[in-house]
Structure 1
Amino acid sequence: MKKMLLAVCFFALGLAACGGGGGDSGSSSAQPAAKLLKISMYGKPIVSASSTAVAHAQFSLISAAVAADAPNAASDAQTTAKSLTDALAARGVPASITTQVIDGTALHQIVTTEYNGKSPTPDQFKTDPSEMIVVNFQLDDMVTPSTDPAQEAAMKQFAADLLVFAQWAAVAGKYVLVVAPIQTCDTQYSAASGLQWALYEAFGNGAPLHFAGAVPDGFGFDTNGKPIPDVGTDLSHYGADCRSPDAYLQNALLDSVAKDIAAIYKESNGASAASDATPVSTPPTVSATSRAQQRQLS
């Protein structure tokens, strides 16, 4: 596949602290105010308003005002925004977060209607990122295994759409941070692993993405496709269907994303972020399952 080299600076977020007036107050201890970090969140809410994950709802494109026929999406989006704002504030990062809940179909509609499905030209990549987009996009169908032909086609379309979306976000001066999907244990060829493949495919084809977020649990599969949990992993966190992450995993993911965002913010302000995880500009190690899918889909 053709690779597009993007002249995008991933780290210059333009988030330097405000200078502060000081004036004639005579106070030498006054500290400059930290600049507000503007974040737009796109995709499935990371956490739910209730203690039970809403795992497979298919959402339409909605704003913070959200449509009346999607009360769960509205509540979960607000809960995620509030939880992430609080988690960042606890790490010394003032943030203003707006939410857009989007599924794969809505992402495709944005790309085709706003950008005519085309990537920007190389000369348009002139703006250093000054705002952040956190994306947690999902496939429309997060149940059907990734080996299904229709799901394979959806994954390929998703990867192509995300590439265009992220490139235009970079042109608009927005740093795109991708939330790593929680892998599910229903099958080694789960829809979640298909989503992971699609994210990596977009990145490999030139999407200016950074990856963030992780959960403490992990597992593999035996030769019969049965999940084998790592030491300390409790598969009950994934629900009776093994693909519905509970509040424990949701909160762990949100906390990890907050750490990564704080690390970016502190680094851009010249502060030490040694205690926080640093998001990677390359995706995490691809699992054997994802590599198999990559061979299959290439």
Structure 2
Amino acid sequence: MADAEATAQALKRAIEANGLPVTVTPRVMDGTTLHQIVMGENNGLPPTPDQFKTDPSEWMIVNFQLDDMVSRADSPGQGEAAEQFARDLAVFVQRAAVAGKRVSAVMPMMTCDAPTGFTAANALIAALTMAANNSSLGIVGGIGSPLCDVDRDGKVTPGIDFEHLGADLRTPDAYLLNEQIQSIANAIAPKPAATK
């Protein structure tokens, strides 16, 4: 919780430095929580088209996670969990839109603990993309170059910022977290262009 609070405060400072006052609450929403929220209203059904009358006036930036952010994307159950997550997230975003809120999901940080394309982060990215295709979900917080490439045999080819992952090849350090925070801040509150 202390790490989440520190990250929330760093994000608040970064967005406010770009000129937009905000409130940031440190929370991570996993698949189980998301499913409970969605099923708790109207038996999990999305809003009807006639309900979409409100233009968004608030932003929600949410750090979503699958329940299992360690197992590979091709592990038993991980694909089904990601598909359920995507369906629930699309409904969550549609309901938020009816309430005048625009939802953006934080892009998960890629890891190097499984072959490229098969990490839990890849499963989450696929779920976020599916949800974005079926709703107004925005995705923010992507960082520059890939941290690594991992082949089928588990051979890791380091990328530019590879040294900023921990020994487990999945834990970003302060440098990467700051890069992601700046990316989110710049997406939410772009800095005005400098005048000459």
Name the counterpart of 1:246.
173
Structure 1 position 161 matched with structure 2 position 88: yes
**1:84-123 alignment, distance < 5 Å:** 84-123=11-50
Rounded to whole Å, the distance in 2 between the matches of 1:261 and 1:112 is 29
Q: CA deviation at 1:96?
A: 2.3
Measured in 2, the distance between the counterparts of 1:90 and 1:163 equals: 31
Write the distance in 2 (CA, Å) between the matches of 1:130 and 1:88. Answer: 17
Please report how far the alpha carbon of residue 223 of structure 1 lies from its aligned counterpart in structure 2 after TM superposition: 5.2
CA contact 1:236–1:242 (8 Å) conserved in 2: no
In structure 2, stretches of 5+ residues that fail to align are: none
CA distance in 2, matches of 1:274, 1:161: 38
Residue in structure 2 matched with residue 228 of structure 1 by the alignment: 157
The residue matched to 2:29 in structure 1 has which SS? coil
CA–CA distance in structure 1, aligned partners of residues 8 and 151 of structure 2? 38
- 1:174 equivalent in structure 2: 101
* Alpha-carbon distance in structure 2 between the residues aligned to 1:211 and 1:161: 16
Q: Distance in 2 between matches of 1:108 and 1:134?
A: 18
**Structure 2 CA distance, aligned partners of 1:217 and 1:237?**
13
Q: How far 1:87 moved relative to its partner?
A: 1.0
Alignment partner, residue 12 of structure 1 = none
- Summarize deviations over 1:239-262 as a string: whole Å, max 9, x none: 111111122111110111011111
Supply the distance in 2 between the matched residues of 1:98 and 1:222 (Cα, whole angstroms). Answer: 38
Distance in 2 between residues matched to 1:274 and 1:116, nearest whole Å:
47
Other-structure match for 1:210:
138
d(CA) in 1 for partners of 2:177 and 2:42?
33
CA distance, structure 2, for counterparts of residue 134 and residue 224 of structure 1:
36
Question: Could you tell me how far apart the structure 1 residues matched to 2:142 and 2:78 are?
Answer: 25
State the alpha-carbon separation in 2 of the partners of residues 158 and 229 from structure 1.
31
- Change in Cα spacing, 1:244 to 1:126, as seen in structure 2 (3 Å) is same
Does the CA-based 8 Å contact 2:28-2:63 persist in structure 1?
no
2:13 aligned partner, one-letter code: D
Deviation at 1:103, TM superposition (A): 1.5
Higher Cα Rg, which structure: 1
CA contact (8 A) 1:182 1:192 kept: yes
Task: Tell me how far 1:86 sits from its aligned partner.
Answer: 1.1
Name the TM-score, length of structure 2 as normaliser.
0.89
Tell me if the contact between 2:18 and 2:189 (Cα under 8 Å) persists in the aligned partners: yes
In the alignment, what sits opposite 2:164?
Answer: 237
Number of equivalences: 191
Q: 1:115 to 1:101 in 2, by over 3 A?
A: farther
SS of alignment partner, residue 24 of structure 2: strand
